[in-house]
Each structure stands twice: as C-alpha cells, then as structure tokens.
Amino acid sequence: LLLSPSLLAPSLLLSSSSSLPPLSWQMSLRLPAVVTGRPQPTVKWTKDETDPDPERVQVETEGKNTTLFIKVTTRADHGKYTITGTNSSGSKSAETRVDVMGESRRFRLGLDWV
C-alpha cells in the first residue's frame, strides 16, 4: 500500500498586510512573509503588478520564509507590493501598500526654484 502525502494549498502570512506607515526617503524596507503548503509553494513578488527592479530589490527565500528587501528607498518605491505562493494545489496572494515620503524634485529655472 502506497500512501501519498496530502497536498495543501498555499498559505501566506505577510507581516505587514494592508498598509505600512509612510517610510522616509532613503530608508531601508523589509517585507517579511511566511509561505507554506505541500508541496512547498514557489514564491513571486511584484510591485504594481510588474516584476520589481532586480538592480535595487533583493528577494531572499529560505524554506518557508521570504523577504523582499530594498537597501535605500526612493520615491519610485511607492506602490503596491504583492506576494504570491503557488503549488499544484493552488495559489494564494497577499499585498501591502508602501508610501515613501521625502525629498521632492526641484528644478532651477533662471533664478527661481520651481
């Protein structure tokens, strides 16, 4: 008699679900999450429904723990971050909103700042 292990659809626990308090410009950002299921789900992070910039954003996944990390935030990091866990039993997503406050762009036109 062969018993196959039971399958479990993905389950997610995003530490900062919903919305984070605003971050100051040039601060670091960590979004930790725990993704479980059987078999272990594959993990995908997106920002505003596209892949995050690999030059600036690091994703570290070890076992069921995953973290999206930005060393130095800019205003461009403002947006909706979504994590999705997928396995043969299904898919589950969670999202959080990140607001980055701070340095605004100012340009000098003639002698006046705009």
Least confident residue range of 11-20, 60-69, 95-104: 11-20
- Asked whether residue 23 is domain-assigned, the answer is yes
70: three-class secondary structure by DSSP: strand
pLDDT tens-digit series, residues 86-112: 999 999 999 999 999 876 554 444 454
- Asked whether residue 1 is domain-assigned, the answer is no
pTM of the model: 0.80
| Whether residue 114 has pLDDT greater than 60 | no
- Asked whether residue 56 is domain-assigned, the answer is yes
Instruction: Give the residue from 34, 33, 29, 32 showing the smallest Cα distance to 78.
Output: 29
CATH code of the domain containing 85 = 2.60.40.10
